[in-house]
Amino acid sequence: MLPFARVSILGLGLIGSSIARGVKAYMPGARVTGYDADPATRLEADALGFLDDVADSPGAAVTDADLVMLCVPVGAMAQAAASMADDLPADAVVSDVGGCKVSVAAALRAALPQATIVPGHPVAGTEHSGPAAGFPGLFKGRWCILTPAGDTDPAAVMRVSAFWERLGAEVEVMDAAHHDRVLAVTSHVPHLIAYSIVGTASDLEEVTRSEVIKFSAGGFRDFTRIAASDPVMWRDVFLNNREAVLEILQRLTEDVTMLQRAIRWGDGDKLFDLFTRTRAIRRSIVEQGQDDAAPDFGRRHE
Amino acid sequence: MLPFARVSILGLGLIGSSIARGVKAYMPGARVTGYDADPATRLEADALGFLDDVADSPGAAVTDADLVMLCVPVGAMAQAAASMADDLPADAVVSDVGGCKVSVAAALRAALPQATIVPGHPVAGTEHSGPAAGFPGLFKGRWCILTPAGDTDPAAVMRVSAFWERLGAEVEVMDAAHHDRVLAVTSHVPHLIAYSIVGTASDLEEVTRSEVIKFSAGGFRDFTRIAASDPVMWRDVFLNNREAVLEILQRLTEDVTMLQRAIRWGDGDKLFDLFTRTRAIRRSIVEQGQDDAAPDFGRRHE
């Protein structure tokens, strides 16, 4: 049995279009309608053909939906929710894919006081953006975290959970505030640092931009890949997960300062200990299928 | 014509064994002898069969060499050079692959006052270590930086340059101090930050290690790959490129502090501007063949 029969997707970028493609691929009986605030994106989505119908307005997109999935940057969630509030069927479930959950849950609840809301966050993506970048298998083997409020209808949580499992994801339910702390560590602060170091490099006077690019295989290019992600999406994540990001950043700064001191004073043991400890975490990530063991630094090779 | 006919490699890890394999593959007439201070590594290298001969001592390894390539961690260069000084043929060229060049050049010059020395650094590698991790194509399309002193015989520089080109690398000659600044930005500081953030994550009380691993696909796993590199090699790099690393780290800290402040005060424009600027650098890296455009965050997908 299909968890939802009429899925409506608001926001047709990488994530929204991947969900739409995944529904067509893995829940073939379900109908998928989509809308994007950008007319050019609507046209592109229509031409790519991964939707049954491209609606002309948010209201028209949701009018007969049993699942409405909001796939816009977290700073645009409130407005996206408000824009379709009048047309939302009473029994529809509303979910989203935002990368931080406390602020989004509050925004959705304020815009849709009567709706059944199951906020979610698929921990998946690529460094590319837009409807053409989506693909049906994006969520396979990745985790999707749901953060429903305590009084949410358990049946609705079950259905959203089943929906993500059909897309290939594993589902975990957790408290929104805990989600925001975990993701600040595993995603938000890493992105901020990657953006920052690419910025620092491009500001150096004596090191030319061409040198930075030429010799990027020593680690830098991996940071640039992270720092190539969608700017609007990331700006919104940082502004909306402020407290958790600032706290993790503070801890990281302390730890970097400790390493800085170890380098200044030639304390090799302290460096060696940390560098050994971090290897074990890498091993666990590979063992649990969250990354390949293949030596990716070499990229294409014989 | 072969740039060198009898290559001796001291240190048979990822880089040393890749050079040996590359010589066999792309300079088939040349003879390759190797030595490693670790008897187990010598046995493993012998079994893997990528050398013509595994020597029992550094002296025996270099006795008839026309190129001696030191492939040990930068902190072990002085000792490796001293260990074969008495047996080094007068007309042999000595080179190395160390990731920082000012300190290594000084160490080699002190240990081998009469030798022709052409320090080098292939900007290539993987997150794996040891003789079994090597492969002949590791240097293809990557840069190798040579940092000879001003009074070095140009013919020797030419030969070492030709050697790297045979291995598939592009060669750039630069001043050792400039090299150390460039690499501090494009490699050393990114590694230090990656190590640090993995450490910060594993120290959090409320976020379990299993959560960090599960949800690593949001960016963190890419840092763990960088932080899985060889601990001894990296400890030595930081201790031996201290000034440049500390200076870049200081600049990065300032830039992160600026972003921290932008987040605290809700200055979205500042974040958006940086996140847009960094995308352009990524594009150049892909255009110049230093990384793939394929959406690697998705890893294996349909």
Averaged over A91-110, what is the pLDDT?
A: 97
pLDDT tens, B8-67?
Answer: 999 999 999 999 999 999 999 999 999 999 999 999 999 999 999 999 999 999 999 999
* Most confident by average pLDDT, A249-258, A287-296, B195-204: A249-258
Question: Would A131 be classed as within a structural domain?
Answer: yes
Question: Would A288 be classed as within a structural domain?
Answer: yes
| CB-closest option in B99, B192, B274 to A259 | B192
Residue that is last in its domain, among A153, A174, A195 = A174
For chain B, the distance separating the N- and C-terminal CA atoms, rounded to the nearest angstrom, is: 46
CATH number of the domain to which A187 belongs: 1.10.3660.10
Alpha-carbon distance of A231 to B252, in angstroms, equals 20
Residue that is last in its domain, among B175, B192, B213 = B175
Residue A200 sits in the same domain as residue A279: yes
Task: Say yes or no to pLDDT of B198 above 50.
Answer: yes
Averaged over B253-277, what is the pLDDT?
A: 95
Residue A155 sits in the same domain as residue A185: no
Interface of B with A in 28-67 (CB under 8 A): none
Question: Would B302 be classed as within a structural domain?
Answer: no
Alpha-carbon distance of B264 to A250, in angstroms, equals 12
Q: Does A212 or A91 have the greater pLDDT score?
A: A91
Residue A226 sits in the same domain as residue A249: yes
Question: Would B123 be classed as within a structural domain?
Answer: yes
Residue B137 sits in the same domain as residue B228: no
Question: Would B300 be classed as within a structural domain?
Answer: no
List the structure tokens of B231: 């601990």
Residues of B in contact with A219 (CB under 8 A): 186-188, 190-191, 194, 226
Residue A190 sits in the same domain as residue A241: yes
CATH number of the domain to which A141 belongs: 3.40.50.720
Residues of A in contact with B255 (CB under 8 A): 196-197, 199-200, 203
CB contact under 8 A, B252 and A192: no
Alpha-carbon distance of A235 to A107, in angstroms, equals 17
pLDDT tens, A14-24?
Answer: 999 999 999 99
Averaged over A108-131, what is the pLDDT?
A: 93
Question: Would A95 be classed as within a structural domain?
Answer: yes
Nearest residue to B271 (alpha-carbon basis) of B283, B280, B282, B262: B262
Residue A169 sits in the same domain as residue A71: yes
pLDDT tens, B72-115?
Answer: 999 999 999 999 999 999 999 999 999 999 999 999 999 999 99
Radius of gyration of chain A (CA): 21
Its ipTM equals 0.87
Whether the CB of B73 is below 8 Å from some CB of chain A: the reply is no
Question: Would A268 be classed as within a structural domain?
Answer: yes
Alpha-carbon distance of A30 to B187, in angstroms, equals 48
Residue B197 sits in the same domain as residue B145: no
Q: Give one DSSP letter per residue of B185-214, joined into a string.
A: IIIIHHHHHHHHHHHHHHT-SSS-HHHHHH
Whether the CB of A297 is below 8 Å from some CB of chain B: the reply is yes
CB contact under 8 A, B274 and A199: yes
Residue A77 sits in the same domain as residue A185: no
Question: Would B83 be classed as within a structural domain?
Answer: yes
Could you tell me the pLDDT band of residue A264, with boundaries at 50, 70 and 90?
A: very high
CB contact under 8 A, A183 and B224: no
- The rounded mean pLDDT for chain B is 92
pLDDT (0 to 100) of residue B292: 66
Residue of B101, B193, B212 best to disrupt the A interface, most CBs of A under 10 A: B193
Residue B30 sits in the same domain as residue B153: yes
pLDDT tens, A68-87?
Answer: 999 999 999 999 999 999 99
Residue A17 sits in the same domain as residue A165: yes
Residue that is last in its domain, among A125, A143, A174 = A174
pLDDT tens, A186-227?
Answer: 999 999 998 898 889 888 877 777 888 888 877 788 888 788
Alpha-carbon distance of A120 to A146, in angstroms, equals 4
Alpha-carbon distance of A72 to A36, in angstroms, equals 9
Residues of B in contact with A206 (CB under 8 A): 178, 181
Number of domains in chain B: 2
Could you tell me the pLDDT band of residue B293, with boundaries at 50, 70 and 90?
A: low
Residue B161 sits in the same domain as residue B48: yes
- The rounded mean pLDDT for chain A is 92
Residue A10 sits in the same domain as residue A137: yes
Domain that holds residue B171: 6-175
Could you tell me the pLDDT band of residue A296, with boundaries at 50, 70 and 90?
A: low
